[in-house]
């Protein structure tokens, strides 16, 4: 409950107590101040029809049916689809007054310019002032007519663009009495006098509260709040626990027409019903926990804002007129103002971070966000939830104002946000490596580090890590400082392909040959085994050589070449056989006389036809060659005379036992050698130029050569072992 005492300085308080929201995004102060310049008025709208007393008063049964009318006030140019409605009823003791009374008209006009739809209603008047029951029935007519007006607006809510959940009711004096009873008096609280009665007080049954005026099937009880201007109620217990219709009351504490406390209206008219004014009403509301505000005007009487006679103020409105209207506006705004929840979101953030902030969402509301030090991002800045990127380091303010579906703005919700700077994360310069190599990368400027992608990293969560990417990769490190703020930096590791080094094809050579190794596919080359690229050399054994090629990126790769070194065939020995000279079998033969190839002689033997120095070059199956020692054929050498028959082997063929006979005398010591068909020496013996017996029966059958030579001559023969 809010109780206030009004004094003459109230106007000054009113003028200085407004809330300045001009700096906010939502600056439209609908319902709080005049925001519309003009009002559209629709007069004498008929909201019902009911039996009214014939005046002057003749009795409760003397009635006629009359239209119940109202004047409607709407903000000019208003486009809102659903608007709150304020219904006000005039004062006059249920005897005089009308909807045209200047105080009610002025209040309706003022509230309409604030954004409300307002209505000043006529209700039925007339009673016997000296008859309590007649007075009670007069109040009940006011209750019924107020109910009919509410039902009318609910029926035509779409026509007048009214939200029926926000209907406010009230009035002045008798009009307020009708509104209070309409809101709080149940059917069980109905005056007994409203039922049918006979002598001595003849009266018809007036029906239920909602059974008069029109037959619109709506309830009149669910109004949002009440405006009580110097009104009263027949019993404060009509306000029952659980009531949910708040009220604002205005009353002079010296009112002699409607008591501020309790008593009879008009002070001396005990024939009127006993009533309870604004003070006990407020006390009862407080007792049952019903929100209410009471404005007490000390020393003031009835009609605090000025007396109205014949629809007009006498001497103009009092100094309280505008403050009361403002207080009514402030009170009603309580129920229109959205209850914006506190802002939810991080209050400690990092620069450039995008954070979501939100307040509770109400259907139909729009939200005006005001940011310092940040930028609102996203496509819906009027949403209850927004994303804000904080641009500036320091402490900044975030505000939100909610504008409801009624265009009522709520209180500003604010939070302070500390924006911390970002760490200065640095990874160094980009690097280049060769395929299959690795490198060390590092970051500094933060406390915690995380590298991405983790592929190819040994320790992706350390400041220093080994990187061995298989392809060119950009690694991004996220550094987090002590404030959990993060920044990133990147380093690109360029992976250069290895050179396609070629050592050349494997090669087969013969012992003693010279070969040159040349690598290709790179810029420079290095061989193992002390080989110099492009320099001839002669390998002495089969081996595999490795070349390392280095390209312009200093990347290296290797290749190998195998050099197979075939041994030379055994040096052939030239032997004599009768009229020929021969050597051991090989693969191919070439005979030379005095250094000149003997044409056509490619067998392992040759019949010399002229003296000179003979050599034989033997080539094996690998193409390797050996050359014999020179064999001198003199002109007087008996070898040239095929028919000399200087040596005889008998028997020939034999079984390994044979006799050698010399047909000429040779007075020298010599030597005998026996070779198999492969040129292998298998037998040696000394001779003294005499006939001799040779026993080689352990040899296998085959063709054998025998060589007998002296210092100046050589004798060669051939025999066969069976």
Separation between Cα atoms, residue 623 and residue 79, nearest integer Å: 111
Same fold for the domain at 348-420 and the one at 645-722?
Answer: yes
Separation between Cα atoms, residue 343 and residue 79, nearest integer Å: 30
Q: Top-level CATH class of 645-722? A: mainly beta
Cβ atoms of 129 and 340 within 8 Å: the answer is no
Cβ atoms of 180 and 147 within 8 Å: the answer is no
pLDDT at 284: 98
DSSP 118-134: EEEE-------TT-HHH
Nearest to 121 by CA among 186, 77, 174: 174
pLDDT at 635: 56
Tokens linked to 62: 């003397």
Cβ atoms of 430 and 493 within 8 Å: the answer is yes
Q: What are phi and psi of 498, to 5 degrees?
A: -75, 150
In total, the chain counts a number of residues equal to 722
Domain ranges of the chain: 2-13+29-336, 348-420, 431-496, 507-566, 645-722
DSSP 42-65: EEEEEEEEEEEE-TTT--TT-EEE
DSSP assignment, residue 277? -
Let me know if 293 is exposed, middle or buried by CB neighbors in 10 A (0-12, 13-18, 19+).
buried
Quickly list H helices, 216-374. Answer: 278-287, 321-336
- Regions of the chain where pLDDT drops below 50: 1-25, 636-644
For residue 453, the Cα-to-chain-centroid distance in whole angstroms is: 17
CATH architecture for residues 2-13+29-336: 3-Layer(aba) Sandwich (3.40)
The CATH homologous superfamily for domain 348-420 is Immunoglobulins (2.60.40.10)
Nearest to 339 by CA among 413, 407, 397: 413
CATH number of 431-496: 2.60.40.10
Separation between Cα atoms, residue 505 and residue 520, nearest integer Å: 12
In the structure, how many helices (H) and strands (E) does the chain have? 7, 47
Separation between Cα atoms, residue 307 and residue 440, nearest integer Å: 94
Strands 605-606 and 2-6: unpaired
pLDDT at 170: 98
What does each C-alpha distance from 35 to 114, 219, 411, 597 come to in angstroms? 6, 32, 18, 130
Question: Which residues have a Cβ under 8 Å from the Cβ of 159 and sit 6 or more positions away?
Answer: none
pLDDT digits (tens, 9 = 90+) for 484-511: 999 999 999 999 999 999 999 999 999 9
Cβ atoms of 438 and 420 within 8 Å: the answer is no
Cβ atoms of 392 and 419 within 8 Å: the answer is yes
Question: Which residues have a Cβ under 8 Å from the Cβ of 69 and sit 6 or more positions away?
Answer: 44, 45, 46, 47, 99, 121, 122
pLDDT at 666: 57
pLDDT digits (tens, 9 = 90+) for 509-554: 999 999 999 999 999 999 999 999 999 999 999 999 999 999 999 9
Cβ atoms of 148 and 214 within 8 Å: the answer is yes
């Amino acid at each position: 409950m809010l109780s206030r005492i009004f004094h003459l300085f109230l106007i000054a308080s009113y003028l200085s107590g407004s809330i300045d929201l001009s700096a906010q995004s939502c600056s439209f102060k609908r319902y709080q101040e005049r925001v519309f310049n003009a009002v559209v008025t629709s007069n004498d709208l008929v909201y019902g029809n009911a039996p009214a007393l014939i005046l002057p008063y003749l009795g409760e049964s003397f009635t006629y049916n009359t239209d119940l009318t109202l004047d409607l006030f709407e903000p000019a140019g208003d486009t809102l689809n659903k608007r709150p409605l304020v219904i006000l009823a005039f004062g006059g003791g249920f005897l005089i007054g009308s909807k045209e009374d200047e105080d009610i008209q002025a209040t309706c006009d003022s509230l309409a310019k604030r954004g409300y739809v307002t209505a000043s209603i006529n209700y039925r008047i007339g009673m016997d002032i000296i008859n309590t029951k007649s007075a009670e029935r007069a109040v009940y007519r006011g209750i019924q007519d107020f109910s009919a007006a509410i039902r009318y607006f609910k029926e035509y809510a779409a026509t007048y663009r009214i939200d029926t959940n926000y209907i406010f009711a009230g009035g002045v004096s008798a009009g307020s009495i009708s509104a209070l009873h309409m809101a709080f008096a149940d059917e069980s609280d109905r005056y007994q006098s409203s039922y049918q009665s006979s002598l001595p007080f003849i009266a018809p049954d007036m029906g239920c509260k909602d059974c008069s005026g029109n037959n619109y099937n709506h309830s009149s009880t669910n109004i949002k709040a009440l405006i009580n201007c110097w009104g009263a109620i027949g019993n404060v217990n009509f306000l029952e626990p659980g009531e949910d219709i708040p009220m604002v009351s205005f009353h002079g504490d010296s009112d002699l027409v409607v008591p501020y406390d309790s008593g009879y209206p008009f002070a001396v008219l005990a024939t009127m019903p006993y009533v309870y004014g604004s003070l006990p009403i407020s006390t009862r509301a407080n007792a049952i926990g019903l929100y209410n505000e009471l404005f007490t005007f000390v020393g003031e009487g009835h009609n605090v804002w000025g007396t109205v006679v014949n629809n007009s103020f006498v001497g103009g409105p009092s100094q309280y007129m505008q403050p009361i209207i403002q207080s009514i506006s402030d009170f009603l705004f309580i129920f229109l103002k959205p209850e914006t929840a506190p802002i939810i979101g991080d209050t400690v953030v990092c620069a450039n971070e995008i954070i979501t902030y939100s307040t509770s969402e109400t259907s139909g509301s729009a939200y005006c966000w005001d940011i310092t030090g940040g930028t609102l991002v996203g496509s819906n800045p009027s949403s209850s939830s927004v994303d804000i990127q904080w641009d500036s380091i320091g402490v900044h303010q975030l505000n939100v104002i909610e504008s409801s579906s009624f265009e009522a703005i709520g209180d500003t919700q604010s939070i302070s946000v500390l924006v911390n700077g970002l760490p200065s994360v640095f990874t160094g310069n980009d690097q280049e490596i060769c395929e299959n190599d690795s490198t060390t990368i590092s970051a500094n400027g933060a406390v915690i580090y995380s590298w991405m992608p983790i592929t190819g990293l040994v320790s992706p969560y350390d400041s220093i890590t080994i990187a061995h990417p298989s392809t060119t990769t950009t690694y991004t490190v996220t550094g987090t400082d002590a404030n959990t703020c993060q920044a990133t930096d990147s380093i690109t590791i360029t992976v250069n392909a290895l050179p396609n080094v070629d050592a050349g094809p494997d090669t087969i050579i013969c012992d003693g040959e010279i070969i040159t190794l040349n690598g290709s596919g790179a810029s420079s080359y290095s061989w193992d085994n002390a080989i110099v690229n492009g320099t001839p050399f002669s390998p002495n054994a089969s081996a595999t050589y490795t070349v390392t090629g280095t390209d312009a990126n200093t990347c290296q790769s290797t290749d190998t070449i195998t050099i197979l070194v075939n041994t030379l065939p055994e040096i052939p020995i030239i032997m004599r056989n009768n009229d020929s000279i021969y050597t051991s079998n090989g693969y191919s033969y070439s005979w030379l006389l005095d250094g000149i190839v003997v044409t056509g002689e490619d067998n392992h033997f040759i019949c010399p036809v002229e003296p000179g120095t003979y050599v034989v070059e033997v080539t094996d199956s690998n193409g390797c060659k050996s050359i014999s020692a020179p064999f001198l054929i003199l002109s007087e050498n008996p070898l040239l005379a095929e028919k000399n028959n200087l040596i005889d082997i008998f028997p020939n063929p034999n079984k390994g036992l044979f006799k050698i006979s010399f047909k000429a005398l040779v007075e020298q010591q010599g030597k005998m050698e026996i070779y198999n068909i492969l040129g292998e020496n298998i037998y040696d013996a000394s001779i003294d130029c005499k006939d001799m017996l040779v026993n080689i029966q352990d040899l296998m059958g085959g063709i054998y050569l025998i060589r007998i030579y002296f210092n100046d001559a050589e004798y060669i023969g051939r025999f066969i072992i069976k």
